Amino acid sequence: MSLFPASPVLRIGLYMLLGALSAIGLLIAFAGAVAYLVIVIYPLLAIWLAFGLFVAVSAGSGRAARAYVYGNLGVLAATVIVFVVGIVFTTASYPRPSDPPRAAAFLYPTLAVIGLALGFARGWWGPVRHSARSRSDRR
């Protein structure tokens, strides 16, 4: 199965599911770090989901679609990485779990935004697949 399914209904459903999971990851990240400012994030996430719906409804495999998919995958990858590091940190200090430093509270949202930006950039400026013929065969 490709990142860009041919069926419009399947594409819309998968893009919205991926966007919703990414939005949940970003909300958890920002709610833990700056709880009172998370209200600013809601409209941005609504715009991000609307962008995903627009991309899913329109032609499904262009630069915008790749950027949306890779951006969401970047957020989810950052979420998994922070979760695994948190589990390892908690397990390593088992007899007497220590509290993480206050600076660690901003680590998760920072990594989530970096994952979003890197994924979006990778999708937007990443290599475009061409036909199977080489450049010399096209001349």
73 has pLDDT over 80: yes
How many domains does the structure of the chain reveal? 1
Cα 60 vs. chain centroid, distance in angstroms? 18
Whether residue 131 is contained in a domain is answered as no
Whether residue 44 is contained in a domain is answered as yes
Percent of the chain with pLDDT over 70: 81
Whether residue 88 is contained in a domain is answered as yes
Yes or no: say if 120 and 72 are a contact pair by the CB < 8 Å rule.
no
Whether residue 17 is contained in a domain is answered as yes
Q: How far is CA 40 from CA 24, 30, 67, 109, 110, in A?
A: 15, 10, 23, 14, 16
Burial class (CB in 10 A: 0-12, 13-18, 19+), 16: middle
95 has pLDDT over 80: no
137 has pLDDT over 60: no
Query: With bands split at pLDDT 50, 70 and 90, how would you rate the model's confidence at 114?
Result: very high
- The upper half-sphere exposure of residue 105, i.e. CA atoms within 13 Å in the direction of its Cβ, equals 10
Whether residue 84 is contained in a domain is answered as yes
Whether residue 94 is contained in a domain is answered as yes
66 has pLDDT over 70: yes
Yes or no: say if 4 and 55 are a contact pair by the CB < 8 Å rule.
no
Whether residue 1 is contained in a domain is answered as no
In this predicted model, what pLDDT tens digit does every residue of 10-61 receive, in sequence order? 888 888 888 888 888 888 878 777 777 778 888 888 888 888 888 888 866 6
Could you list the residue range(s) of the whole structural domain that residue 79 is in?
8-125
Whether residue 20 is contained in a domain is answered as yes
CA distance 137 to 139: 6
